[in-house]
């Protein structure tokens, strides 16, 4: 049975994201849309309490999506979204702790998993959820962190990979193939699950299961770049959008 509630919230977050990028001039689009259902499940799925548990966004360019979710979760006033990337706004172009509800500032890829692992070690009674991307796994530091989390058996650490098959300049397969990411994580000693990153019920179940693990957890969420705006889906040119036109805006809203 489809999870109507989460689906409805995710739709609202996508609409707010598009409003936000239209009103502020632009920003990252494809990734925030592919990871929106994951973020919605995290913040509205009643699995974690991020006033105590920790969420670390490693891929800082997904900021706009997280801001939209945090505004809907009432961490701050939704009216602030239109000020995204403006001089006096706390909504920085890459995710920042200036924003209420954000625990880690990032933008340079590959660093968040280490930070999350350190936090998981220091605050072992809480869950630490990290969101990375498939392209980000080209950074070597990710694999240093993967070794570390395995050595220290960080069962409270969950790495969700937003696996949308694209990065800024094209498809991940062309630029630097990850081949079988799941088997790599298995080899590194992690518990690995692959899931449809747009299926709320499955995401909810896997996240609940992952909370009880003795080993670090990797959830490979297969997603669609630009999910929800059908005419930009799987098109890497929409990694980000500059100066969104009224035509694009209206068309995108009707698709959502």
Partner 1 sequence: MNLNSMRASFGKTLTKLAETNNDIYVVDADLKSALELNEFAQKFPKRFIECGVAESNAAGIAAGLAKSGKTVFLTSFSCFSPAINWNVIKQSICYNLANVKIVGSHSGLMSTTLGATHQMLEDIALMRSLPEMEVFSPVDSIETEKIVKVLSRSRHPAYLRLVRTTTPDIFDPKISFTIGKSQVLKKGKDITVVGHGPILYQAFQSQAKLNLDKPYISLEIINCSSIKPLDVETILKSVKKTGRLICIEDHQQNGGLGEMVASLILSNNIKCKFIHLAVKDSFGRSAKTYEKLYDYYGIGVNDLILAAKKIIK
Contacts with partner 1, residue ranges (CB under 8 A): 97, 103-108, 111-123, 140-141, 144-145, 147-148, 152
Provide, rounded to whole angstroms, the least separation between the CB of residue 163 and partner 1.
22
Q: Are the beta carbons of 235 and 170 closer than 8 angstroms?
A: no
Which lies closer to partner 1 via its Cβ, residue 127 or residue 204?
A: 127
Which lies closer to partner 1 via its Cβ, residue 7 or residue 96?
A: 96
Which lies closer to partner 1 via its Cβ, residue 144 or residue 199?
A: 144
Provide, rounded to whole angstroms, the least separation between the CB of residue 142 and partner 1.
9
Which lies closer to partner 1 via its Cβ, residue 43 or residue 148?
A: 148
Which lies closer to partner 1 via its Cβ, residue 115 or residue 248?
A: 115
């Amino acid at each position: 049975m489809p999870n109507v509630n989460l689906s409805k919230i995710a739709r609202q977050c996508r609409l707010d994201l598009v409003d936000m990028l239209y009103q502020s001039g632009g920003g990252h689009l494809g990734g925030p849309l592919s990871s929106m259902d994951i973020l919605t499940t995290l913040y509205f799925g009643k699995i974690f309490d991020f006033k105590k548990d920790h969420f670390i966004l490693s891929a800082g360019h997904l900021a706009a999506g997280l801001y939209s979710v945090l505004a809907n979760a009432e961490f701050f006033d939704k009216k602030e979204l239109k000020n995204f990337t403006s001089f006096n706004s706390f909504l920085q172009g890459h995710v920042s702790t200036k924003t209420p509800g954000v625990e880690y500032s990032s933008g340079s890829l590959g660093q968040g998993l280490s930070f999350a692992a350190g936090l998981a070690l220091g605050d072992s009674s809480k869950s630490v959820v990290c969101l990375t991307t498939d392209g980000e796994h080209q950074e070597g530091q990710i694999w240093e962190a993967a070794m570390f989390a395995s050595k220290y058996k960080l069962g409270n650490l969950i790495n969700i990979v937003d696996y949308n098959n694209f990065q800024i300049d094209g498809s991940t397969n062309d630029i630097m193939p990850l081949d079988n990411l799941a088997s790599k994580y298995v080899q590194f000693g992690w518990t690995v699950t692959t899931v449809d990153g747009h299926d709320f019920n499955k995401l909810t179940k896997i996240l609940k299961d992952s909370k009880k693990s003795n080993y670090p957890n990797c959830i490979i969420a297969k997603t669609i770049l630009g999910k929800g705006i059908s005419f930009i889906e799987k098109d890497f040119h929409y990694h980000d959008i500059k100066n969104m036109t009224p035509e694009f805006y209206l068309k995108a809203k009707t698709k959502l």
